[in-house]
Structure 1
Amino acid sequence: MSSPELVKGDAAPTAATVDLKLEVVVIPVSDVDRSKRFYESLGWRMDGDFTNGPDWRGVQMTPPGSPCSIHFGKGITAAEPGSSKNPYLIVSNMEMARTELIGRGADVSEPFHFASIGGPRLPGRDPDAHSYNTYATFSDPDGNSWLLQEITTRLPGRGFSSLDVATLTELLKDAENGHGQFEPTAPKHHWSDWYAAYIVARGEGKTSEEAAAAGTRHIDAVLR
């Protein structure tokens, strides 16, 4: 199975293009507290639990490393509980992701792939180990399903190309601060190696401390 082809739009973005950043997906549930316990058990960050009288409650949670969150609650959607099917959760290592999620109580399927784009589903990892082509699924207590997709190498135009100047500036300032704490006791290295690993980690939703550790690990690997 070959990797999916990148389909380009008719017009390239211009300086006047307005960013439309997907930040929240609404998940319909029947029991708010049960859903909250389930997603917390998976290690998803609890961002807020808001109420406005007896008929409205909204919970926001965020998967580890994700820039997009979920909302569920009472009075926030008329969709049938369990009707959300297969929003993608991107992982860099399917087996590690499955092991962690299963260890946290999720009933994760075995890996599978497709014979071709739009073709039949087949058991096991993609035999050619192509990025984007290995999947697994699990569901929450209502039956809302999630699709894990393993991506090891992204298609051109994906990832940091969507960063705006202000966001990248803040990331660089953040990296500069972290590197300033790392450099005095570090072995001789090029600052760009540490910055790159740090910024990628921050872009994946890691904390400053986690990103600094990623930068240090990368320097260790480069110098090894």
Structure 2
Amino acid sequence: MRVRAGGADSDGIQLEPLKEQTMVDFKLEIVVLPVSDIDRSKDFYTRLGFREDVDYAGPDGFRVVHFTPPGSAASIIIGSHVTDAAPGSAQGVHFVVDDITAAREQLLAAGVEVSEVFHDAGGVFHHEGTTGRVAGPHPSRQSYGSFLSFQDPDGNGFVLQEVTQRIPGRVGQVVYGSVAEVEQALRDAATAHGEYEKELGHEDADWPVWYAGHMARAAGLQVPSEG
């Protein structure tokens, strides 16, 4: 991440001249969730399909359980003596899915009590609580526009948000959740590249470069146009 620093402060004192600085990346890695019964919560998140990475028990009742949701670069931690927040007090934690209807069916199959899919009356982000909720997904299935909510056994509140296309520049790296996702991305690129070669009128010797750009754009990276 690059920023510019310098200028004058509010008192008019001249600061260092403007210059570009390279900032250290700040990547959201962990959300600590306060729970009252660790094993009950472990069962809940396991049923959701979260991968258990660590279950560490230390002295004096200290315990850390680390879970990673499917396809996520960030994780959650539950345990004892890891937070002084009240169990159930974490609210508004969002998970992103690319098919909110299918995700809801999976949650129901796992025995989770979940809301109906909804969108916001304003058409952008949802309001607090149930204010502005309109039943059903966004009318045009607009990316970022459809939601559902659920809770864990302690009442920690979660929202699923459907994102099918990222805002340009929003993605800094591409993460595929499975071999099947990589295969599908390659097949989509192959189909699109076939159309591109028809326009060219000959084979494209630099097809790896074209594939890479197409797959990156499809995943939401901001890269130069194909051609």
Whether these two folds match at TM > 0.5 is: yes
Which of the numbers 144, 148, 167 marks the counterpart of 1:155? 167
Distance 1:220 1:155 in 2: 24
Distance 1:210 1:152 in 2: 17
Judge conservation of contact 1:42–1:105 (CA < 8 Å) in 2. no
Judge conservation of contact 1:86–1:147 (CA < 8 Å) in 2. yes
Distance 1:67 1:210 in 2: 18
Letter of the structure 2 residue corresponding to residue 31 of structure 1: D
Distance 2:118 2:185 in 1: 33
Q: Which residue of 2 aligns with 1:137?
A: 149
Letter of the structure 2 residue corresponding to residue 150 of structure 1: E
1:52 offset after TM fit, Å? 1.0
Which of the numbers 46, 67, 71 marks the counterpart of 1:61? 67
Pick closer, same or farther for the CA change 1:212–1:153 going to 2, 3 Å.
closer
Structure 1 position 75 matched with structure 2 position 81: yes
Structure with the greater alpha carbon radius of gyration? 2
Give unmatched runs, 5+ long, in structure 2: 6-19, 196-227
Q: Which residue of 2 aligns with 1:122?
A: 134
1:33 offset after TM fit, Å? 0.5
TM-superposition CA deviations, 1:60-101 (whole Å, max 9, x none): 001000000000100000000001112110011111111112
Q: Which residue of 1 aligns with 2:90?
A: 84
Q: Which has the higher helix share?
A: 1
> Which ranges of 4 or more aligned residues in structure 1 deviate by more than 3 Å?
209-224
The number of aligned residues is 173
Determine which structure has greater relative contact order: mean sequence separation of CA pairs < 8 Å that are 6+ residues apart, divided by chain length: 1
Distance 2:113 2:76 in 1: 20
Q: Which residue of 1 aligns with 2:55?
A: 49
Structure 1 position 29 matched with structure 2 position 35: yes
Letter of the structure 1 residue corresponding to residue 171 of structure 2: G
Matches within 5 A, 1:7-26: 16-26=22-32
Structure 1 position 214 matched with structure 2 position 184: yes
Judge conservation of contact 2:4–2:21 (CA < 8 Å) in 1. no
Pick closer, same or farther for the CA change 1:16–1:48 going to 2, 3 Å.
same
1:54 offset after TM fit, Å? 3.4
Q: Which moved more, 1:62-71 or 1:102-111?
A: 102-111
TM-score under structure 1 length normalisation:
0.69
TM-score under structure 2 length normalisation:
0.68
